[in-house]
Amino acid sequence: MATTHVGFLSFGSFLPLPSRISFSKRRTFAMAALSDDPIREWILSEGKATHITKICPVGGGCINLASRYGTDAGSFFVKTNRSIGPSMFEGEALGLGAMYETRTIRVPRPFKVGALPTGGSYIIMEFIEFGSSRGNQSVFGKKLAEMHKAGKSGKGFGFDVDNTIGRYGPYAHEHRLGYQLKLALDQYGDSTIYQRGHRLMKNLAPLFEGVNVEPCLLHGDLWSGNISSDKNGEPVILDPACYYGHNEAEFGMSWCAGFGGSFYNSYFEVMPKQPGFEKRRDLYMLYHYLNHYNLFGSGYRSSALSIIDDYLRMLKV
Question: How many angstroms separate the CA atoms of 228 and 238, rounded?
Answer: 8
Burial class (CB in 10 A: 0-12, 13-18, 19+), 33: exposed
Closest CA to 52 of 31, 30, 34: 34
6 neighbors 179 (Cβ within 8 angstroms): yes
All residues at 6 or more sequence positions from 206 whose CB lies less than 8 Å from its CB, including other chains: 315
26 φ, ψ to 5°?
Answer: -60, 130
Sign of CA dihedral 27, 31, 32, 38: positive
Closest CA to 162 of 78, 95, 221, 116: 95
Residues forming the active site: 221
Question: How many angstroms separate the CA atoms of 282 and 264, rounded?
Answer: 16
Question: How many angstroms separate the CA atoms of 258 and 263, rounded?
Answer: 9
Closest CA to 104 of 137, 135, 136, 149: 149
